[in-house]
Amino acid sequence: MKFNLRSQTEQGIVAVKTQFQEVRTRLKAIFQAVKSQIQTFAEDQFRWIRLQISELTKLSPQSTLLKLVAVVAAALMIGIAIGGVQFFLSNNFFSDAKTAADTATTTSKPKSANWGDLPPVPRSGQPVKPTPSSKTASPSALAEAPTQSQPATATQSSAKSSPEAISPKTATKAPPSPAPQTPQPLSPVPPALLTQSNGEYIPPQVSAPADPSNYGDRYAKDIFGNPVHNDPLIVLHETVGSADSAINMFRTAHSDESLQASYHSIIRRDGTIVYLVPSEKRAFGAGNSVFVSNKGQEAVRTHKQFPPSVNNFAYHISLESPPDGDNMAETHSGYTEAQYHSLAWLIAHSSVPDERITTHREIDRSESRIDPRSFDREKFLSYLHSLPRPYLN
């Protein structure tokens, strides 16, 4: 069994936070008891003060003044003591612990989400480092190559009512932006050559991190507070336009939530894998979607304004469409052998079984998605089954 340092670290942090919360809860109970005792004492003291004040009229003026000063001083000391306890009990000493525990619960990815060795996304502008090849080589293995010129401006946009990635029936020409943002250039893109090492196919790879506005965290609870424990799912898409068009759109910040969209990765026509969103993050690839499994209908609602979707437990992969696929037609000329090979290689590094590899068309509930068109599942599976799958249970 592979040791997952990240998972073990997260579990350790959660355990420490839980223990710390228990200590604070016990301390709070103790201070509440102290507070009760102080309040009882204060009531007794204030009764004494009232008694002393009532006797002031019976004393000489000089004695009255001295006793009044003593009574006021005693009242101030009691008030300060009670106020200090009240402040200590009501400040963030305890509420911070609860907030931290709630945050750790609601924003961490579900424990069941095991993505195997799917790659993280390096920082913007940081090329993927070459690593030695092996039978279980990580998808971060690739040779550096000259930088490709900056992609053309995006020509595809998703017109939709929920955060989904572009797909055939809703892709439209993007309207001119009043204040366009220029995405950073892509990291070095390998040439259109498919490398081989020890008989194992290793596709070219590159990082093009999406803007953080176009993806989010995976949640352990839905918006109603119900825990979610869905197994990982892989959803296949297509770009409809060019890969550069989709990449530029995802790398551009969108403040309008209805325009926020992303895939985890895109596979170019030459087989190059472009990593966009880290596998542990939630890409906005399939709004209004449901996956039907032997457990029933699976979907998680993570936003009150949008319908449930599979995004919380899905890894989204998009295939670059062929030139004749930049339209609304039901079919096109299909995908290259290099794309099928790279797709199989990438999925072989995950822990997702065949029955949880689906398409956008199959999970869509908006009746508008038909991607990936002309996808040959049998060809894809033949490539996938020929590869080692070290993380598959």
**How confident is the model over 13-43, as pLDDT tens digits?**
777 777 777 777 777 777 777 777 777 776 7
pLDDT 10s digits, 365-383: 999 999 999 999 999 999 9
**C-alpha distance from residue 203 to each of 187, 267, 352, 381 (Å):** 16, 10, 20, 17
User: What integer pLDDT is reported at residue 195 of this predicted model?
Assistant: 35
Of 167, 111, 116, residue with least CA distance to 139: 116
State whether 183 and 305 are in the same domain.
yes
- Measured in residues, the chain has a length of 393
* Alpha-carbon dihedral sign for residues 141, 147, 150, 151: negative
* Nearest partner of 254 among 371, 153, 124, 157, judged by Cα: 157
- Is residue 221 within 8 A of residue 179, CB to CB? The reply is no
pLDDT at 84: 64
Is the same domain home to 233 and 178? yes
On whether both 22 and 129 belong to a single domain, the answer is no
Same-domain check for residues 85 and 134:
no
| pLDDT confidence of residue 230 | 95
- The pairing of strands 281-283 and 215-217 is antiparallel
Question: What's the rounded Cα separation, in Å, for the pair 318 and 138?
Answer: 20
Does residue 98 sit in the same domain as residue 121?
Answer: no
Q: Which residues of 266-279 are buried (b: 16+ CB within 10 A; e: fewer)?
A: bbbbbbbbbbbbbb
Cis peptide before 372 (omega within 30 of 0): yes
Round to whole Å and give the CA distance between 88 and 78: 16
User: Which H helix or E strand runs over 37?
Assistant: helix 5-55
Same domain? For 146 and 279 the reply is yes
DSSP 383: H
Q: Using CA atoms, how far apart are residues 117 and 136, in angstroms rounded to an integer?
A: 9
CA gap 354, 378 in Å, rounded: 11
DSSP codes of every residue in 241-263? S-HHHHHHHHTS--SSGGG----
Residue 206: both structure tokens together: 């590159």
State residue 77's pLDDT score. 75
Same structural domain, 67 and 141: no
Report yes or no: 300 and 222 within 8 Å, Cβ to Cβ.
Answer: yes
Distance between CA atoms of residues 143 and 124, nearest Å: 18
Question: Which pTM value belongs to this model?
Answer: 0.58
pLDDT at 82: 67
**152 and 95 fall within a common domain:** no
Please list the ranges in the chain whose pLDDT falls under 70: 1-10, 42, 46, 49-50, 52-64, 67, 81-117, 119-199
Where in the sequence is the domain holding 159, given as residue range(s)?
Answer: 117-385
Residue where a domain terminates, one of 70, 104, 138:
104
Say if 240 falls within a structural domain.
yes
Name the strand (E) or helix (H) holding 275: strand 273-275
**What is the total count of domains within the chain?**
2
pLDDT for 276 equals: 97
Q: Is residue 345 domain-resident?
A: yes
- The CATH number of the domain holding residue 284 is 3.40.80.10
Residue 324 included in any domain: yes
Residue 187's pLDDT is 36
Element (H, E) at 73: helix 61-90
Per-residue tokens: 110: 């579900």
